[in-house]
Structure 1
Amino acid sequence: MGVWRVRATGMALLGLTLVAGCGGERAPVVPAAVRAPVKVARCLLKYPDNRAGRTGRVRLARDIARYVGTRPGRIVYDVLDLVSKVRLGHGEHVQDLIAASGAKVDIVAALLQSRDDSLSEDELDLAERMIVESDNLAADAMWSLVGGTGAMSEFYRRIGLRETTPGPGAYWGGTKTSPADRIRLMKVLINGGKGLTRADRRLVLGLMGRVQQDQAWGVSAAARPGDQVTLKNGWTPRQFIQDTWAVTSYGRIAGPGRDLLMSVQTDQQWGEEPGIETIEGIARMIGSRLDALSPTTTRACPTNPTP
């Protein structure tokens, strides 16, 4: 037992010696981990650049006027983008240009407004043939169903088209309208009201979106790849006016960042093709430069002053 105490005591002293020796040395320095610099995202806000927008609109209107000056006949147009609220036009309230087959949309909408229930199968067939194929015989039949000139006058009054006059007698193609009224009609079809139900509006816009390919010219030239186009065109010879043509196009071009309504009307054209070329020339200029009419500028977020 005595020997064990001595040994234990010795071991304890040895442990104290070792601890004391360690305490006298400097501990090795372990380098701290190097942190990468933190990237702080800048706060940026977008503001409308009204000055640049006004400049863009003036330049576009000037360039369209120059283009129109090189084209035959009378040419008027109206444009409204529902997203940016940009609007421009020339002669948009001129009311004596005929709609020709563009009036077929009006006739279908008038019949829908007059009904408490949906159209019959035969009436739906007429509507499809009128708008998708631009069938004149179908339009004759539905003009009679609606009630002709008197009923159409009442329809225009109720829907708020103050610059549109129905054609006389059975001559629905002689309906006179303005580009501004074509825009008003499109707004009603899109936004609702005026006695047209959601189903009514879906039907008409759906038919306008299915116009057969050989009749899909006109304001569709403003479309970008992937944009959705709904339109109706009109074209007719006018032998009693120096054997010229009236050619019109109106509709909607919708896609990312835009919801563009456009109407271009012409008359006294040398033929159908010059009218189409003129409409598409205007539409193409507007479609390609629309974004420049409502530009934005980027600025740093304002900072709060330290009290």
Structure 2
Amino acid sequence: MFRTTTDGRWHVRTMWTAWLGLALVAGCGAEPVPVKPAAVRAPVKAARCFLKYPDVRAGHAARARLERDIAHYVGDRPGRIVYAAVDLVSGVSLGQGRHDGDLITASGAKVDILAALLQRRDGRLDEHERDLASRMITESDNSAADALWSRVGGGAAMGDFYRRIGLKETTPGPSSYWGGTKTSPADRIRLMKVLVKGGKGLSSADRALLLGLMEQVRREQAWGVSAAARPGDRVALKNGWTPRPFVQKTWAVTSYGRVVGPGRDLLLSVQTDRQPGEGTGIQTIEGIARLIGSRLDSLTPTISRPCPTKPTF
């Protein structure tokens, strides 16, 4: 209730004050109106352009260091040691005594036997021959090698095969002695190139069969050039090892094959002779393979430079 004066001024002033109070009370209890921030765009950074160029000087220096380290390693090992390596991706090649063709390959010749038989038969092997081939490569079965050496035609036929395929530094073993086949690291690389790239009368199916068997070599026989592999690389190899009682009771130990993975397709052959034992030969081969495999990428370094800002004509 509001009191009213005779002239009505008290009533109007009181009503105005009351309404103002109600408005203040209502305003105090209301939620604040949220303010939506304005969107702000982050500044866009333009990506810088770089080009990669071969660092030839650094590559030559890395190669010299690797060859020096291998030579030092070989110099501290017994017997005779030769090797050859070619990377089909980068084109890098290394070697020492790569054309020495008077070292016996022992069981390494078993790949030659199967390649010659496939070429001779246009890839048509019967079921028994395929079983012999599998045992000869994956298990290094000597009886299987004897049988297939005979079916190829022995040493004379193998000599013809080597001429056709272009292995000029390989001589078949005498008579039925396929293990006496002599070869060079360079010829082992030539053979692997044929298996990888094709030609020389071997079909893609023939090559797939051979390389597939070389990838399935038993674990206990998968030593050697496999030491060059990185985790995840695929390895196809064949090893040879034999005592030589008439050569100061020493051993010949060999390993060759392919190590392929991201950025590389390495063909590698290491041959040793006059070794005091099989284990010593294996250690030597794996030491060389490990040096090459771990440092192969350093032989083709690159340098990055900014792209030209103005086109050249």
- Please give the TM-score of this superposition, normalised by the length of structure 1: 0.88
Partners of 2:123 and 2:93 in 1: how far apart? 36
Partners of 1:224 and 1:140 in 2: how far apart? 35
Unaligned runs of 5+ in 2: 1-36
The equivalent of 2:216 in structure 1 is 210
Distance 1:257 1:167, change over 3 A: same
The answer to which of 104-113 and 41-50 deviates more is 41-50
Asked whether 1:253 is paired with 2:253, we answer no
**Cα distance, 1:35 vs. partner?**
3.6
Distance 1:106 1:243, change over 3 A: same
Distance 1:305 1:154, change over 3 A: closer
The equivalent of 2:28 in structure 1 is none
2:123–2:203 CA contact under 8 A, matched in 1: no
**Cα distance, 1:303 vs. partner?**
1.8
Partners of 2:225 and 2:153 in 1: how far apart? 31
Q: What's the RMSD between the two structures over aligned residues?
A: 1.5
Partners of 1:302 and 1:122 in 2: how far apart? 64
Unaligned runs of 5+ in 1: 1-30
The equivalent of 1:236 in structure 2 is 242
Aligned AA (1:182): R
Q: 1:257-306 CA deviation, whole Å, 9 max, x = no partner?
A: 11100000000000000000000000001111111001111111112169
Q: 1:112-151 CA deviation, whole Å, 9 max, x = no partner?
A: 0001352001100110111000001110111100000110
Asked whether 1:269 is paired with 2:265, we answer no
The equivalent of 1:113 in structure 2 is 119
Q: 1:226-279 CA deviation, whole Å, 9 max, x = no partner?
A: 000000000000000000000000000000111100000000000000000000
The equivalent of 2:69 in structure 1 is 63
Distance 1:87 1:305, change over 3 A: closer
**Cα distance, 1:197 vs. partner?**
0.6
The partner residue of 1:189 within 188, 195, 216 is 195
The equivalent of 1:198 in structure 2 is 204
- Please give the TM-score of this superposition, normalised by the length of structure 2: 0.86
Which runs of at least 4 in structure 1 moved beyond 3 Å after TM superposition? 31-35
Distance 1:171 1:303, change over 3 A: same
The equivalent of 2:103 in structure 1 is 97
Partners of 1:35 and 1:148 in 2: how far apart? 80
Aligned pairs for 1:126-137 within 5 A: 126-137=132-143
Secondary structure (helix, strand or coil) at the match of 2:82 reads: strand
**Cα distance, 1:36 vs. partner?**
2.3
**Cα distance, 1:34 vs. partner?**
4.6
Aligned pairs for 1:26-45 within 5 A: 34-45=40-51
Distance 1:240 1:52, change over 3 A: same
Count of equivalent residues: 277
2:258–2:267 CA contact under 8 A, matched in 1: yes
Structure with larger Rg: 2
Partners of 2:54 and 2:68 in 1: how far apart? 22
Asked whether 1:88 is paired with 2:61, we answer no
The equivalent of 1:72 in structure 2 is 78
Partners of 1:237 and 1:117 in 2: how far apart? 34
Partners of 1:171 and 1:245 in 2: how far apart? 17
Secondary structure (helix, strand or coil) at the match of 2:296 reads: helix
Aligned AA (1:135): D
Identity %: 74
Partners of 1:210 and 1:306 in 2: how far apart? 54
The answer to which of 296-305 and 285-294 deviates more is 296-305
2:87–2:264 CA contact under 8 A, matched in 1: yes
The partner residue of 1:180 within 182, 186, 207 is 186
